[in-house]
Structure 1
Amino acid sequence: MMKKIQEGVISFIFCGALSTTMLPGCTGHRTVENNRAVVDSVLMDTIVYLDKGNTESPKCQVKINFKYLKSAQANDSLTEVINKVLEETFSSAHAGAVSPVAFVSSIKESLASEYLNDVQKNYETDVKNGMKADEIPNWYNYEYDINSELTEGKDSIWNYKVTTFQNTGGAHPNTWGRWVNVDATNGKILDKKNLFVKGTEEKICGLILPQLLAEANKRLETDTLTCVEGLNQVGILLDTDLYIPDNFLLGKDGVTFLYNRYDIAPYYLGQFELTVPYSEIETYLIKK
């Protein structure tokens, strides 16, 4: 039963059935490096039904938007290196596929398989025991949406953002991001160690704090938060000190730091994207 459903899902992708689309589409965005490559994408939207052929049965919807570089030149080793980094960031477990389309297909097949393994037996048991359509609990329905953005940042740096939305029957869905900076001249990831001057974390956090206070006041519709103690009272930085996150981007105008849900604040406050202008933080950046 499970094998047949999985095979049917595969055929949806390659036969172009209405429930699934997977299309590469060039955005026309050019790289910093000699205009040799453009930002392209593989888009995929599919639905896996627990009861194959029954669109009223519980389902898992998977949406994927994988951005990568497409070179106009043969044997472009630099673009290959950068794309490997992008794949590792997007989904390390599936990196190294023969093509971007195969990479996305592998991710989709994995999520579909996990869904069937998680709930199919329980669902079949419930149906066998007489569960009616209007009695099916909502937690049988899963949803995944993995999106990416690839843009030019400061100097010769690619900014890559991967945002994952996941709803797998828990108390609430969750969304998180992973951001990386890629040197467009050699394909290497630029992380905290090779971008921020050693020993300056406290000073950098001192620049992030006003941004955090301003954003927290805005979200809570107040102007009373002026210090860490005030943030603590509303649940922000309650269990951790302010720190430089691994997720940040060197954009055109400043450094933006991403704190995912639960990193520094409770779920209901969402994630925080806090930008410090280069005019303030430049002195703490390692010059390249």
Structure 2
Amino acid sequence: MSFSILLFSCVEDVNISFEEVYISSENRIEINIPKAKGNKTIVEVINTDIETAVARELYIGSADSESPKTINESINLFNEEFHVFKTDFPESEQIWEAQIDGEVLFQSPEIISVSITSYVNTGGAHGILNITFLNFESTTGKQIPNKNLFTDSDSLKEIVKKHVIEATRKKDIVFEPENFQLPQNIGYTEDGVIFLYNTFQIGPYSSGIIEFTIPFEEIKSYLVFNSTN
């Protein structure tokens, strides 16, 4: 009994909430992201990981170079690259822009799922749209690797594969089951677990993003974290 009371007390003490943070800069940079509030030890871990993810999305340097860790660093680098571009091509009317939006998809005493959607255009034929899911332990703030979300990833893959086949069929995409992998982006929502493949991860650019939600009831036996919020 005493252990149960202690556990309940710890969960209550976590009490993590979120507020929206807006950041803007030249070159049409706009960032709207959630910022965790509450237990200092926990929220520092969550906010650091969210900031790192946003900084990585805004970074346009070499893939071989280490991306900046803070949003301000990434904004400064973005603007510096634009000024270099304008120096090299002064007659160009190309406008650079970046829009990054964050959203808390799901929150329970066990897990918090956050989505980061970014659109960055630096003058190509089209901008780059990318979505990233981050999952955190509510009691520690530590990020949860996808492999730790499920008790049996191999069996789960067979269920997810059926949904991928249906999603690609609707978009008339040639799907190769023998090369199937779970997506990099998996998160909790109110309706179930969402699985998302960004552009090019399954089909060509024209196919866009492929996503679908599997109800908790369908895969509850594979879930490590409780879906009750």
Deviations 1:57-100 (A, max 9, x none): xxx321111221133x7xx22222222222233225443xxxxx
CA distance in 1 between counterparts of 2:119 and 2:150 reads 30
CA distance in 2 between counterparts of 1:33 and 1:78 reads 13
Shift of 1:114: 1.7
CA distance in 2 between counterparts of 1:36 and 1:195 reads 22
1:45 aligns with 2:12: no
Aligned residue in 2 for 1:65: 32
Please say if residues 167 and 174 of structure 1, whose CA atoms lie closer than 8 Å, have aligned partners that are also in contact: yes
Q: Secondary structure at the match of 1:79?
A: helix
CA distance in 2 between counterparts of 1:179 and 1:36 reads 22
Please say if residues 109 and 139 of structure 2, whose CA atoms lie closer than 8 Å, have aligned partners that are also in contact: no
Shift >6 Å, 4+ stretches: none
Please say if residues 208 and 274 of structure 1, whose CA atoms lie closer than 8 Å, have aligned partners that are also in contact: no
CA distance in 2 between counterparts of 1:217 and 1:34 reads 47
Identical columns (%) = 25
Q: Kindly indicate whether structure 1 or structure 2 has the higher relative contact order, using CA contacts under 8 Å at least 6 residues apart.
A: 2
1:83 aligns with 2:47: yes
CA distance in 2 between counterparts of 1:61 and 1:267 reads 24
Q: What is the correspondence of 1:156-167 to structure 2 with a 5 Å cutoff?
A: 156-167=110-121
Q: What is the correspondence of 1:1-288 to structure 2 with a 5 Å cutoff?
A: 34=13, 36-47=15-26, 60-71=27-38, 76-91=40-55, 93-95=67-69, 103-117=70-84, 119-124=85-90, 126=91, 136=92, 138=93, 140-153=94-107, 155-198=109-152, 200-201=153-154, 203-218=155-170, 220=171, 234-238=172-176, 241-286=179-224
CA distance in 1 between counterparts of 2:177 and 2:161 reads 16
Shift of 1:149: 0.9
Q: Secondary structure at the match of 1:262?
A: coil
CA distance in 2 between counterparts of 1:82 and 1:169 reads 33
Query: 1:123 corresponds to which letter in structure 2?
Result: F
Normalization by structure 1: what TM-score?
0.63
Shift of 1:284: 2.2
Please say if residues 240 and 264 of structure 1, whose CA atoms lie closer than 8 Å, have aligned partners that are also in contact: no
CA distance in 1 between counterparts of 2:150 and 2:224 reads 6
Aligned length: 206
Unaligned runs of 5+ in 2: 1-10, 57-66
Normalization by structure 2: what TM-score?
0.77
Please say if residues 55 and 68 of structure 2, whose CA atoms lie closer than 8 Å, have aligned partners that are also in contact: yes
CA distance in 1 between counterparts of 2:108 and 2:191 reads 8
Deviations 1:235-280 (A, max 9, x none): 4435972211221102333211110000011111111121111222
CA distance in 1 between counterparts of 2:177 and 2:98 reads 29
CA distance in 1 between counterparts of 2:177 and 2:167 reads 19
Greater Rg by CA: 1
Please say if residues 165 and 175 of structure 2, whose CA atoms lie closer than 8 Å, have aligned partners that are also in contact: no
Please say if residues 78 and 186 of structure 1, whose CA atoms lie closer than 8 Å, have aligned partners that are also in contact: yes
Query: 1:79 corresponds to which letter in structure 2?
Result: V
Q: Secondary structure at the match of 1:64?
A: strand
Q: Secondary structure at the match of 2:23?
A: strand
Q: 1:213 to 1:153 in 2, by over 3 A?
A: farther
CA distance in 1 between counterparts of 2:18 and 2:119 reads 23
Please say if residues 142 and 169 of structure 1, whose CA atoms lie closer than 8 Å, have aligned partners that are also in contact: yes
Aligned residue in 1 for 2:8: none
